């Protein structure tokens, strides 16, 4: 299509544009093979092993769980992953348990912690500390959080008579997040009330936002589906690129941060994609590094495990166990002898039942004429609001990737445009009646998802995962906080690359210089720095292995041979006592 001869395979970028393209492609391919992701082995975990045997999801309860605080694989008849790939008879492995080791975009050494389990390192960025654990001083918070997932499952009924205004007039504008360790019960109320004070006026039009009253059950089901991201739509990072595309199409002026010179459409889109891509990359590294280390259990495993233990609320009634589910009249009760759930021989009497979404026993995807609805189910049979071929993502819950990705993206879009609000003061997505939901009929009426600000959309995404039965509150808030840090840092890094900005961290990046760069393997490179004190120079390959260490005097120029270095990306890193924000470094390409 471009008229370029495909036989031009040289990567000598000094010869022409085609060769430059080949060189860039070669660098990207080699970088992917050496960035710590283990791409050459299909991204498989090297050392991680699950602590629990698989949960056989079609059978009641969770009798085989050995550690109710650790992630548990799911044994499914058919598994369809978030990219739509079907796998028969599958017990999916933990996806990305060691992703914290991947080379980041803007994460710094001051963000990083390295921990060890079973003799193996796990790299974490923005370590939030452990989640609530059953059998510890945080048992009550554990039980409340997973109990709240079951409670919010009761909100998925469009016929319960509860209606909400889902417009920006009543939702969004959340304000500060609760601090770590604070009681979050007000932040996640029993009725799921939309948090935030709303926005009185659209700042772009000067007019009030128009209310939109819908059924809570329709709204919550739509959110769970809209933000699920896969297998028939984008993944979570891709969802935010879709939103960015809509923003870019509606912008009337393209100025970085809303100020300065106006950019052409192609320049704006390249820069906005790099900034958002860097943030999504670092959000994945942060969230999955934490997931791999803390290895936290998902709601379907936790709720069924606690159901096996019994109830924790009343020692004077049957099934008491401090590890059990909290009772909640009208939502979590014990099965009585005359209960329809008691069983033919009363075998289920004394077990816990939940007023929740009833789930589905059907594997077909052509289910839009069905509606499972909400009713009493045995807690041992509780099912998240997900497809029977997916049930729960195949990796640990803590921290929420959706919350981390979304908050990071919201920060980037705000900083990119210089405006917290969507263009025109409103972002929208139209939802048709009956046909939008993937595995049951709904919604019962047409609606439009609306967000005034990027943060409003991100906050909505975070809550959708509780209604979807995927995350307890403990997974959510740390993800939002981490996403905020990640998004800001990624934008600042990208802006420094674009405009030559000299923030404190960017100035440190300039403290290391390498020439020539790229260099051919075997050639000598010259390394110099602005360090005013003795320093240690390290050359690190993309797997994080230190291949060379050398002490440098102030302002010393070092000559390094690259003989024996494989082609790919390396980091020349300078360690000094003055590196208060990040170690000065530069990426070196070896051809």
Which is more confident, 526 or 309?
Answer: 309
Mean pLDDT value across the chain: 89
Which is more confident, 464 or 387?
Answer: 464
Beta bridge partners of 559: 526
Where in 179-338 does DSSP place strands (E)?
Answer: 213-215, 332-334
Which is more confident, 585 or 212?
Answer: 212
- pLDDT(363) > 60: no
Query: Taking the alpha carbons of 435, 441, 446, 450 in that order, is the dihedral positive or negative?
Result: negative
- Among residues 588, 285, 244, the alpha carbon closest in space to that of 427 is found at 244
* Gyration radius (Cα) of the chain, Å: 26
- Distance between CA 369 and CA 371 in Å, rounded? 7
Which is more confident, 546 or 518?
Answer: 546
Beta bridge partners of 525: 560
- pLDDT(362) > 60: no
| Predicted confidence band of residue 173 (pLDDT cuts 50, 70, 90) | very high
Q: How many CA atoms lie within 13 A of 221 on its CB side?
A: 34
The pLDDT assigned to 89 comes to: 66
93-146 tens-digit pLDDT: 999 999 999 999 999 999 999 999 999 999 999 999 999 999 999 999 999 999
Query: Tokens 């917290």 sit at which residue?
Result: 420
- pLDDT(367) > 80: no
Q: What is the DSSP letter of 98?
A: T
Percent of the chain at pLDDT > 90 equals: 68
- pLDDT(504) > 60: no
């Amino acid at each position: 299509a471009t008229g370029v001869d495909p036989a031009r395979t040289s990567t000598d970028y000094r010869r022409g544009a085609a060769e430059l393209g080949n060189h860039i492609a070669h660098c990207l391919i080699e970088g992917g093979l050496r960035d710590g992701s283990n791409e050459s082995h299909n991204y498989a975990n090297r050392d991680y092993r699950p602590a629990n045997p698989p949960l056989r999801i079609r059978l009641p309860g969770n009798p085989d769980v050995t550690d109710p605080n650790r992630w548990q694989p799911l044994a499914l008849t058919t598994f369809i992953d978030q990219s739509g790939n079907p796998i028969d008879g599958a017990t999916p492995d933990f996806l990305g348990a060691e992703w914290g080791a991947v080379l980041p975009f803007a994460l710094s050494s001051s963000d990083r912690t390295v921990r060890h389990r079973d003799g193996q390192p796990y790299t974490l960025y923005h370590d939030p500390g452990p989640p609530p654990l059953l059998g510890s001083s945080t048992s009550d918070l554990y039980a409340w959080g997973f109990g709240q997932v079951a409670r919010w499952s009761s909100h998925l009924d469009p016929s319960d008579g509860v209606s909400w205004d889902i417009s920006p007039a009543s939702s969004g504008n959340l304000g500060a997040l609760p601090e770590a360790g604070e009681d979050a019960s007000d932040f996640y109320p029993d009725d799921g009330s939309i948090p935030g004070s709303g926005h009185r006026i659209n700042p772009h039009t000067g007019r009030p936002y128009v209310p939109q009253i819908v059924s809570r059950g329709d709204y919550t089901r739509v959110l769970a589906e809209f933000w699920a991201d896969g297998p028939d739509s984008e993944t979570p990072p891709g969802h935010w690129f879709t939103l960015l595309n809509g923003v870019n199409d509606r912008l009337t002026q393209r100025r970085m941060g809303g100020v300065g010179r106006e950019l052409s459409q192609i320049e704006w889109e390249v820069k906005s994609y790099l900034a958002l891509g860097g943030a999504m990359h670092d959000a994945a590294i942060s969230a999955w590094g934490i997931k791999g280390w803390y290895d936290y259990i998902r709601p379907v495993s936790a709720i069924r495990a606690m159901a096996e233990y019994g109830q924790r609320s009343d020692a004077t009634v049957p099934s008491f166990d401090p590890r059990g589910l909290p009772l909640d009249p009208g939502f979590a009760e014990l099965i009585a002898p005359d209960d329809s759930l008691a069983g033919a021989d009363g075998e289920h009497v004394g077990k816990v039942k939940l007023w929740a979404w009833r789930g589905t026993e059907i594997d077909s995807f052509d289910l839009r004429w069905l509606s499972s609805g909400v009713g009493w189910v045995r807690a041992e049979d509780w099912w998240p609001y997900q497809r029977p071929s997916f049930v729960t993502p195949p990796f640990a819950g803590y921290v929420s990737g959706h919350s981390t990705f979304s908050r990071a993206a919201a920060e980037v879009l705000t900083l990119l445009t210089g405006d917290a609000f969507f263009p025109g003061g409103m972002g929208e997505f139209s939802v048709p009646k009956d046909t939008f939901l993937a595995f049951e009929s709904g919604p019962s009426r047409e609606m439009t998802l609306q967000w005034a600000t990027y943060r409003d959309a991100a906050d909505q995404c975070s809550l959708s995962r509780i209604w979807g039965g995927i995350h307890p509150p403990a997974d959510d808030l740390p993800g939002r906080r981490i996403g905020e840090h990640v998004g800001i840092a990624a934008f600042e890094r990208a802006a420094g690359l674009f405009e030559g900005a000299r923030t404190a961290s960017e100035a440190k990046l300039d403290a290391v210089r390498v020439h020539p760069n790229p260099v051919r393997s075997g050639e000598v490179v010259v390394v110099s720095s602005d360090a005013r004190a003795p320093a240690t120079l390290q050359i690190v390959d993309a797997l994080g292995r230190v291949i060379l260490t050398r002490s440098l005097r102030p302002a010393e120029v070092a000559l390094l041979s690259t003989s024996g270095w494989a082609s790919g990306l390396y980091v020349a890193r300078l360690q000094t006592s003055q590196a208060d924000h990040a170690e000065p470094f530069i990426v070196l390409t070896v051809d």
